[in-house]
Amino acid sequence: MTERLTICTPTYLRPEGLKRLLDAVDGLQPVDGIEVRMVIVDNDPERSAAWVDGRLVQGEPVVYAPEPRRGITFARNRALAEAAAIDSHWIAWLDDDEAPRPDWLTSIVGTQRRTGADVVSGPSEPIYEPDAERWIIETGAFERDRFETDAPYPFFHTRTSGVVHRADIVPDEGFDDRLALTGGEDRVFFTRIHRAGHEFRWDDGAVVDEWVPTSRVQIGWLVRRWFRTGVTRSLTLLYLDDPPWSRRLRRVAGGTLMAGSGLLTTVGAIPGGRSRVLAAFRRFLLGIGAAWGALGLGFEEYREVHGQ
Is the predicted pLDDT of residue 13 greater than 60, yes or no? yes
Note the helical H segments in 40-179. Answer: 72-85, 104-115, 134-137
Q: What pLDDT, on a 0 to 100 scale, did the predictor assign at position 182?
A: 85
Superfamily per CATH, domain 3-212: Spore Coat Polysaccharide Biosynthesis Protein SpsA; Chain A (3.90.550.10)
| Tens-place pLDDT, residues 53-106 | 999 999 999 999 999 999 999 999 999 999 999 999 999 999 999 999 999 999
- Structural contact between residues 228 and 304, judged by C-beta atoms closer than 8 angstroms: no
pLDDT category of residue 149 using cuts at 50, 70 and 90: very high
- CA dihedral in degrees (246, 247, 249, 254; nearest 10)? 140
Map out the domains of the chain as residue ranges: 3-212, 219-303
The C-alpha atoms of residue 145 and residue 150 are separated, in whole angstroms, by: 15
Q: What is the mean pLDDT of residues 10-37?
A: 98
| Tens-place pLDDT, residues 200-240 | 999 999 999 999 999 999 999 999 999 999 999 999 889 99
Q: What pLDDT, on a 0 to 100 scale, did the predictor assign at position 140?
A: 96
- Structural contact between residues 269 and 276, judged by C-beta atoms closer than 8 angstroms: yes
Q: What pLDDT, on a 0 to 100 scale, did the predictor assign at position 183?
A: 85
Is the predicted pLDDT of residue 19 greater than 90, yes or no? yes
pLDDT category of residue 147 using cuts at 50, 70 and 90: very high
Q: What pLDDT, on a 0 to 100 scale, did the predictor assign at position 181?
A: 87
Strand partners, 35: 4
Q: What pLDDT, on a 0 to 100 scale, did the predictor assign at position 1?
A: 86
